[in-house]
Amino acid sequence: MTHAQDSQGEIVETKYYNMPSYEKFVLASGAELEELKIAYETYGALNEKRDNAVLICHALSGDAHAAGYHKGDKKAGWWDVMIGPGKAFDTNKYFVICSNIIGGCKGSSGPNSVNPKTKKPYGLSFPLVTIGDMVNAQKKLIDFLEIDKLLSVCGGSMGGMQALQWAVSYPKHIHSCIPVATTYKHSAQQIAFDEVGRQAIMADPAWQGGDYYEKTHPSAGLAVARMVGHITYMSNDSMEQKFGRTMKTEKLGYGFSTEYEIEGYLRYRGDSFVKRFDANSYLYITKAMDHFDLQEDKKLHQAFKGVKTRFLVIAFSSDWLYPASQSKEIVKALKMNGIDVTYCEIRSDYGHDAFLLKSEEETKLIKHFLDNTHKVIERNR
């Protein structure tokens, strides 16, 4: 990371970790990656004790660029409102890390990566990945950064799944966990929405079985998948307040053109998404989310057996994609293990997207929680 400043904010650079060539990264499926590459960014400085590191895990459409600006960009990273001096993840205090998940399309190993054997993009020959695989890859990065124990792991939506997996897979390597607007497993309805998106992509003639990288991309299918997904990120109240039945045209055209503001908004969201995301990655990531199940054929509280990590679980009142009831189940399971957990449900009309928008409330909660976590660590030294 550079420390140059421009008029907009801190200029940051994406870095890359490449697993040594003599190692192989084994996935949950048993498949192996001969080359593991992870794109990541860091903000703030690692202290001498190397105990002030916080890992931020991104959601489905996110990437390593969580804060600051890339040179020439007009838009900051996806959670810039929460990461920086004086913010929730105060970079005057903490060394903040965010990496692109494997299976993604923003620099880490994924279906759009070049297969070293064929010298062409993997496409569907890239092995399926799980949330656990994503976390295991992140652990490789943390080891590379020579950090033995993270102060905290935090993420919203799919990022929250990763945070929970960290607590279960590597309980001795994190002090605290902040899962936000998430779940411990997908319900049938959540799987159903993902499947509609996947089918929209695979029904696009341009998809060609995932082998489209040197051809026309399945933009129409991916745009529809994003439109469906975006509906689940909002709430009925937020859509009603923002759009209602407002028309884009002066009168009904009695056709299938874009007549309502909400139609135009969804098409805009879909068209914007295809410019920055890979259709195959959408398939891989949503399937990983659907496969995620912290229980693994046992009762949820048993998944947290032996975990000593402190938790702050945050949910939002209008989130119907990952409703507060699912967060409460996590809290109940943690309490059954005597784990130190705080639960906060923030009132909001924004729906699932609230975790990206309700920064003031989240900031207060997270600042207080991290300060207390630091005090607990010092007290137990």
Task: List, by residue number, the catalytic residues.
Answer: 157, 319, 352
Residue 229's nearest CA partner among 79, 351, 347 is: 351
Look at the alpha carbons of 134, 123, 233, 37 in this order and tell me if their dihedral is positive or negative: positive
Is residue 208 within 8 A of residue 221, CB to CB? The reply is no
Is residue 33 within 8 A of residue 109, CB to CB? The reply is yes
Distance CA 60, CA 194 (A): 11
Distance CA 246, CA 243 (A): 6
Six token digits for residue 70:
């890339």
Distance CA 35, CA 247 (A): 51
Distance CA 150, CA 163 (A): 12
- Partners of residue 160 on adjacent β-strands: none
- Partners of residue 15 on adjacent β-strands: 40
Distance CA 233, CA 62 (A): 14
3-state secondary structure of 25: strand
Strand order across the beta sheet in which 341-346 lies: 15-18, 37-43, 95-99, 53-57, 152-156, 176-180, 310-316, 341-346
Distance CA 301, CA 32 (A): 31
Q: What is the DSSP secondary structure assignment for residue 128, as one 8-state letter?
A: P
Is residue 137 within 8 A of residue 32, CB to CB? The reply is no
Is residue 99 within 8 A of residue 199, CB to CB? The reply is no
